[in-house]
Chains A and B, each alone.
Chain A
């Protein structure tokens, strides 16, 4: 790709790649089949600044180094597969535009863009981490409707106000950006983490659900909501804009009002 575009710029017609900029991506690489140590590798690419970090990763994987490993499924900010640490902040690679995170001078990025796997989870290869502990915490808060009595013959109705009560926490896509930005989770993975608490909140405050007490009891324990230090990293990291710390505080409040 590089050679033909270079020749074109010398012609009289407006170049097809005038809008492209040169940006360096500094990517944290790890391959247990080659070395025990992770290392930083720089890739310099020409890319449209209005493209996303995920497009840059694709370009690197497809054109420069096929061994670069990362997760992505829908590539449009819904599946939650491509959470990674970009320039030191947890974000979705498919929702982060290059122009928003790089300073440009004469069409060249002033600083490299760093891309790392999310922290607090075992790195399996390059940007891929082991999500099992994360989903274990999710399963432990019982993220499903719990009811008593017979099944109703029609749908369970709910007022608009009751739906609004937990609307914010229904937006979670389980990308782990919040949990892997939490300093308590970094040092102690037994903590449920913001994502699990958000998904517990989604059912605790659902008027149709009757398992709130069970979930609150789980979150009342040593690894539950009381380990939250209100650092607000989770709220900053959430690519869906969920007020995560607020949701955790609401669970604390529910526990206090129920126990006293």
Chain B
């Protein structure tokens, strides 16, 4: 089911007199293609959960439209939208067994949709097998691990064959190892059912790893949409560049003059077609190539070996206060030889891993060829 959001806006009135209203979601327009997995991504308070709740109908948009396919569902009650929602803390009914939890949505069906008992059970077991909990059907939620509860919640959302599956921070209650495993399973389940799925997360790694496309939001405004790799490779502004990627992007205060980019005294990159101005320079950790006569000179602080690759920690006076870390973290191949005792390290920069941003607007400045 194709989901189309048109100028979706949600305003929460301020409780204090005279205060400003809070615009949780501002003019959100986006189309989720049929059968795709889309991640709504952003820091807390960016309006991603509000967007999700508007899609499922638990919250009403202040203005704007929501379409499922060609059907306008904006004013439709949640139960008539055909959505399945997995809550952040799962909201499994604690007094019911797994089986009863999964059967519950089916037992609510009325009129023509009403199913007989055998069909209901069959459907419940089918979906339980899909998420691999068919052996746990007679347990209570309290007797399950976090990961198992998560699957029950997904099974309960899937059992009535929703047109759209919505997941609110699906992995935030799981430990690191389980998170990795579960996110793959969510992807697998989504692919095998082909249900259009929207999930909300603040964890960029989670969103990047399983989404067909991501929507990056900040303070209610959509910043950028697209396939994860495209957004990562071509961030539209400094916020998106900083939000995506682990370790986070390194940000420097730089200056463009005479057709070249300077970080401190170092001339790092040729920048034809860019006006002379002060800029923010973002360099991805993997964009550094250590070289004896490299362009960018930094003071070496530490070399962390991580097996697969090596993380070089260094400092530079030009490092911006916008940078997430107080140090420069660059990741290079484990084969690279680095003198640990050296005071200084020099890097060449991969041109496709360096981004320039306007100092005021923080918008991306595209460097011409």
The answer to whether A and B belong to the same complex is no
